Amino acid sequence: MIDFDNLNEQAHDSSSVRIKILGIGGAGCNTVNSMMDSLDVEGVSFVVANSDLQSLRQSKANNKVQLGVKTTKGLGCGANPEIGRRSTEEDLDRILEHIGDADIVFIVAGMGGGTGSGGAPVVAKALKDRGILSIAIVTKPFSFEGKRRMMVAEQALETLKKEVDTLIVVPNEKLLSLVDRSVSMIAAFEMINKLLIHSVKSISSIISRSGHINVDFADLRTIMKGMGLAMMGTGSASGVNRAVEAAKKAISSELLENMDIKSARGVLLNVCGGLDLSLHEINDAANVIYDASNASAHVIVGSVIDPEMDDEVIVSVVATGFAPIGHVQPEKVAAAVAQPSVASQKSEEKRFYTEESQLAKVMAEKADIQPVDALDVPAYLRKQEFSDQPGE
């Protein structure tokens, strides 16, 4: 549930959160180039690492690491993940020098080749050993790239999943069913890059932008630390019923791996809108997510007001801790989650009615309308369970 004790205008010190984006291998380096052109998030810096010196030289990133200088002599790994692993281990210290004291590291790579497949798990393990939150956003190859490449990708994903905190997989194959036959190859790959960029931007923006219902680094860590497979979705809509439509789009991305949010153990929801964003719209968006999620899922809700946004509402959802395919989490609260008493529920509702909501007050001042004296308790407050388990 939303902690109304934390509804305030004072933003958390998000500038202290250090975010690094690390591109490994050819695909990772290409994605970082695209991100640097379009990713506008405060506090983010870029690092690229590759065994192919020619590809590395074409990178726009200031922080570059040539992998396997002795092993590959700058000529790449020849799609051999074992060479990719050894090359990354050889120059791991140089990567970690650039990572420094980062709080979050996004690892972007393509699975199926040599450097990305072999190197990403090595870096993820090193980050885990140092207590740095790691989020890998990777692609799987097209089927026409061959069975061997797909097999390498699957094996690399299994290894990476054991080392990284959160893993988001984008299968290139889904592009074939989503794009028209007349769409060029460059335009199709741009779609994938945009999805990768959007995933990084949505997650990093949640903690880098101040909000009236704040989601901070501790919240993000709670939802993503050691959670394994995840899905990331963002939806936008305007006009009537915009919050509901945006929320529905956020949980139905066709380019992500087939996963049902019903089996997720953690969900992070962020609603962003202009000065006219209402508390009831946040309630509507949250209800869509609560209805789609498992009752035992730990759901954290945040909201940001962007004065530059007009009629649009953007809903971002990060769902983590997915059960194996075909298995759905039981509709019950785990032992670590305490059930609130009826008395505490009534006390909470009474406090909500009697204490003036600072969020409503702030939004009313900005929209030049009078705040309401009492708001209906949102439906998801009654539905969401109370969790006593602290974030890591």
55-87 pLDDT, tens digit per residue, is 999 999 999 999 999 989 889 999 899 999 999
Q: Is residue 351 scored above 60 in pLDDT? A: no
Q: Is residue 5 scored above 50 in pLDDT? A: no
Average pLDDT, the chain: 80
Q: What is the pLDDT of residue 212?
A: 72
pTM of the shown model: 0.75
Question: pLDDT confidence of 42, banded at 50, 70, 90?
Answer: confident
More confident residue, 6 or 300: 300
Domains and CATH numbers, the chain: 16-206 (3.40.50.1440), 230-392 (3.30.1330.20)
Q: What is the pLDDT of residue 252?
A: 85
Q: What is the pLDDT of residue 159?
A: 96
Say if residues 83 and 71 touch (Cβ distance below 8 Å): yes
DSSP H or E run through 1: none
Tell me phi and psi for residue 48, to 5 degrees.
-125, 145
Q: What is the pLDDT of residue 287?
A: 96
Say if residues 195 and 362 touch (Cβ distance below 8 Å): no
Q: What is the mean pLDDT of residues 232-248?
A: 92
CA distance 319 to 221: 13
Q: Is residue 199 scored above 70 in pLDDT? A: yes
One DSSP character per residue, 143-186 reads GGG-HHHHHHHHHHHHHHHHH-SEEEEEEGGGHHHHS-TTS-HH
Say if residues 1 and 386 touch (Cβ distance below 8 Å): yes
Q: What is the mean pLDDT of residues 145-158?
A: 95
Q: What is the pLDDT of residue 381?
A: 45
Question: pLDDT confidence of 255, banded at 50, 70, 90?
Answer: low
Helices (H) and strands (E) in the chain, counts: 15, 10
Q: What is the pLDDT of residue 80?
A: 95
More confident residue, 196 or 271: 271
Residues in the chain: 392
Q: What is the mean pLDDT of residues 327-334?
A: 43
Residue 169 C-beta-side C-alpha neighbours within 13 Å: 22
Question: pLDDT confidence of 244, banded at 50, 70, 90?
Answer: very high
